[in-house]
Structure 1
Amino acid sequence: MTALIFIARYGKLALICGLLAGLLLPGLAQVLRWWIPELVALLLFLTAFRIGPVDALANLGELGRTALVVLVLQLALPVGFLLMLGLLGLPVTPLALALALVMAAPSVTGAANFAILLNGDPAPALRLLILGTALLPLTCIPVFALLPGFGDIGDVLAAALRLLMVILGAAALGFALRHWRVPDLPEQGRKAIDGLTMIVLAVVVIGLMSAIRPALESDPLDLLLWAGVAFALNFGLQGLSYVTLRRNGYPAAVPTSIVAGNRNFALFFVALSPEATEPLLIFLGCYQFPMYLTPTLLRRLYDPR
């Protein structure tokens, strides 16, 4: 337990080590990519166990506000972006497609863990993850209608349903175990779980970066472009959301802003052609950099003390 508490204390470094391993160990990245669903389920279980059902369900009165946030993030933003492209007469290039898919996607599973690293409340992030995934079959339909030749919407809805089942199953198991076995989790126990969670997050990112090393060797300038877009989009959405929410006195500004920039757009890959997926796989790998560097590079934004 002491080792896990030590890792939790330096969780940001653990995430950076995961990024470096994804770059330096391409063989390991190729192996781990096949285990990402199981690792994500484990991550959700640990997060639910750490938060507990009491804290997660303490503010069910916030459900309406949470749903409104989901509609803004997953519906208003991408639809507004695509309508703007149409008004300007601009085509939906791979770059524009990447931006639209990120804005239309629900939260990544690690958003609650990033909130913990930034001294924020993880429960609102977990609620946004669950509700955002549950509403995805509705919010994605107008977005797909504005994307020409996107693919079979049924594939995406099925993928969203599978993800929702994983989220609900892992969260229910974590909540149940916490409720029946450790209803009063001590602070040392929380820190130990945080350390274990950091290890899982670091392993997950290695698998998500399987396309980075080949891209670095074949076309580093193209990779640099995608990385720049990933940082600008991720940090831009987080910064804009945080400034807006804090100015309006929103109590969950930190976790909500983290979710705004960190989205699980890989869900949509099942409905894309191989030609469209190839550059987006590179973007998916690049997107891990701002995501996993959020607790390090945006600490001054969220916690300026």
Structure 2
Amino acid sequence: MSRRATLFLPWSLALGLMLQDLAATLKPLVAPLVVVLLGIAMARTHWPTFLAVLRRPWLPLAMVVVSMVVVPAMAAPVLRHLPIAPGLALALALMACLPPLTSMPAVAGLLGLDRAIALFLALVGTALTPLTAPPLALLLFGMDLKISFPAFALRLGGVVLGGTALAVLLRWGVLRRAPHAAPRLDGLAVVTLMVVAVPIMDGVLAHLVNEPWRVAGFVFWGFVATFAFIAVTTLLFWPFGAQRACTASYGAGSRNNALLLAVLPATADPDYFLFIAAIQFPIYLTPTLLQPMYHWLIARRSGQPTASVNETP
């Protein structure tokens, strides 16, 4: 499953759509499953490499700034002139201000990207969100995001501590005794990602039945924004190497849109909540679409045959 992750992930959306009762039942498990994904990603990250990233953090910090500050500043004037509903434009704008998905390090490893940098982007980007997203949302889009920094930090701390504890258990209890089990942990990450997709699809089927063209439009613009963010970030970081550029671009395209659900005001446009459901299609389909391109770019830049890049690190 780890070697064919991009074949399995899109089907998890179909499972969520078909099993709506199960989707509603599994909703409370989303947060614990995110901790599991982070723990697996941390266990599979080469810790000396991650410490090296922490000692010289300037490039990954630049990736965070570009993704969460420069990209929204570039996107804001474009979104104002697009022929789309104001609620959708706002959702796309807020998407540009958000950090990468917490599951990004796990997926990045499956795509052959830099696990250490991916982990840095997910953790640091999420930690900086209360400091960057509210002022940008107010300055660029006139929306007040009342994010409580202490509450947010406490929630983030719980996720990180839980993931770290699980990572220590996996590394010392599994990988140290059976190093060959590493691909099985990647397979477990794929299974976890598939399970997470089921509760995320809760209620989406009703939207598809009642407003199929509207949902299709939201999905379409979600793909457009995702690949626009990916293209811009890839070009900006290409001089630093293909793998780094692809890692930064995947982080810029896979945003944690659900992060704002708890802090959006009651007066927020309902289209934003529809967008949260619609953007799951790009999130789960993008790895499948990008994997051949990432492998080709990394192999071409490194001068290696593509087949050698396809192996999961």
With the length of structure 1 as denominator, give the TM-score of the two structures: 0.86
Tell me how far 1:197 sits from its aligned partner.
0.6
Tell me how far 1:195 sits from its aligned partner.
0.6
Tell me how far 1:40 sits from its aligned partner.
0.6
In structure 2, relative to structure 1, the CA distance for the partners of 1:154 and 1:241 (3 Å cut) is: closer
In structure 2, what is the equivalent of residue 3 of structure 1? none
The answer to whether structure 1 residue 101 and structure 2 residue 73 are counterparts is no
- In the alignment, the residues of structure 2 paired with residue 106 and residue 116 of structure 1 have an alpha-carbon distance, to the nearest angstrom, of 18
In structure 2, what is the equivalent of residue 172 of structure 1? 164
In structure 2, relative to structure 1, the CA distance for the partners of 1:286 and 1:162 (3 Å cut) is: farther
Task: Letter of the 1:130 partner, please give it.
Answer: L
Figure out how many residues of one structure are paired with residues of the other and give that number.
Answer: 297
The answer to whether structure 1 residue 287 and structure 2 residue 279 are counterparts is yes
- In the alignment, the residues of structure 1 paired with residue 61 and residue 85 of structure 2 have an alpha-carbon distance, to the nearest angstrom, of 28
Task: Letter of the 1:110 partner, please give it.
Answer: S
Residue among 28, 33, 40 paired with 2:22:
28
The question of whether the paired residues in 2 share the 8 Å contact of 1:92 and 1:147 is answered with: no
Tell me how far 1:255 sits from its aligned partner.
1.6
In structure 1, the gaps of 5 or more residues are: 1-6
- In the alignment, the residues of structure 2 paired with residue 20 and residue 159 of structure 1 have an alpha-carbon distance, to the nearest angstrom, of 34
- In the alignment, the residues of structure 2 paired with residue 68 and residue 98 of structure 1 have an alpha-carbon distance, to the nearest angstrom, of 24
Structural RMSD (CA): 2.7
In structure 2, what is the equivalent of residue 40 of structure 1? 34
The question of whether the paired residues in 2 share the 8 Å contact of 1:112 and 1:122 is answered with: yes
1:195-274 matched pairs, under 5 angstroms? 195-247=187-239, 249=241, 252-274=244-266
In structure 2, the gaps of 5 or more residues are: 297-305, 307-313
Q: What is the percent sequence identity of the aligned residues?
A: 30
- In the alignment, the residues of structure 1 paired with residue 126 and residue 237 of structure 2 have an alpha-carbon distance, to the nearest angstrom, of 22
String of CA shifts for 1:10-29, please: whole Å, max 9, x gaps. 22222122111012111111
The question of whether the paired residues in 2 share the 8 Å contact of 1:105 and 1:264 is answered with: yes
The question of whether the paired residues in 2 share the 8 Å contact of 1:226 and 1:286 is answered with: yes
The question of whether the paired residues in 2 share the 8 Å contact of 1:105 and 1:136 is answered with: yes
The question of whether the paired residues in 2 share the 8 Å contact of 1:266 and 1:284 is answered with: yes
The question of whether the paired residues in 1 share the 8 Å contact of 2:113 and 2:243 is answered with: no
Task: Letter of the 1:282 partner, please give it.
Answer: L
Residue among 134, 137, 153 paired with 2:130:
137
With the length of structure 2 as denominator, give the TM-score of the two structures: 0.84
Task: Letter of the 1:173 partner, please give it.
Answer: A
Task: Letter of the 1:126 partner, please give it.
Answer: L
String of CA shifts for 1:45-67, please: whole Å, max 9, x gaps. 11111215333223223312222
The question of whether the paired residues in 2 share the 8 Å contact of 1:212 and 1:285 is answered with: yes
Task: Letter of the 2:187 partner, please give it.
Answer: G
The answer to whether structure 1 residue 146 and structure 2 residue 146 are counterparts is no
User: SS at 2:52's partner residue?
Assistant: coil
String of CA shifts for 1:35-89, please: whole Å, max 9, x gaps. 2111111111111112153332232233122222211211222234335667x79
Residue among 51, 59, 65 paired with 1:65:
59
Tell me how far 1:161 sits from its aligned partner.
1.9
Tell me how far 1:128 sits from its aligned partner.
0.5
Which has the larger displacement, 169-178 or 62-71? 169-178
- In the alignment, the residues of structure 1 paired with residue 49 and residue 9 of structure 2 have an alpha-carbon distance, to the nearest angstrom, of 26
The question of whether the paired residues in 2 share the 8 Å contact of 1:56 and 1:123 is answered with: yes
- In the alignment, the residues of structure 2 paired with residue 62 and residue 92 of structure 1 have an alpha-carbon distance, to the nearest angstrom, of 43
- In the alignment, the residues of structure 1 paired with residue 39 and residue 295 of structure 2 have an alpha-carbon distance, to the nearest angstrom, of 27
In structure 2, what is the equivalent of residue 299 of structure 1? 291
Residue among 51, 67, 70 paired with 1:76:
70
Tell me how far 1:245 sits from its aligned partner.
2.1
In structure 2, what is the equivalent of residue 8 of structure 1? 2
- In the alignment, the residues of structure 1 paired with residue 79 and residue 218 of structure 2 have an alpha-carbon distance, to the nearest angstrom, of 20
The question of whether the paired residues in 1 share the 8 Å contact of 2:71 and 2:96 is answered with: yes
Tell me how far 1:278 sits from its aligned partner.
3.1
In structure 1, what is the equivalent of residue 299 of structure 2? none
The question of whether the paired residues in 2 share the 8 Å contact of 1:30 and 1:210 is answered with: yes
Tell me how far 1:277 sits from its aligned partner.
5.7
Which has the larger displacement, 120-129 or 49-58? 49-58
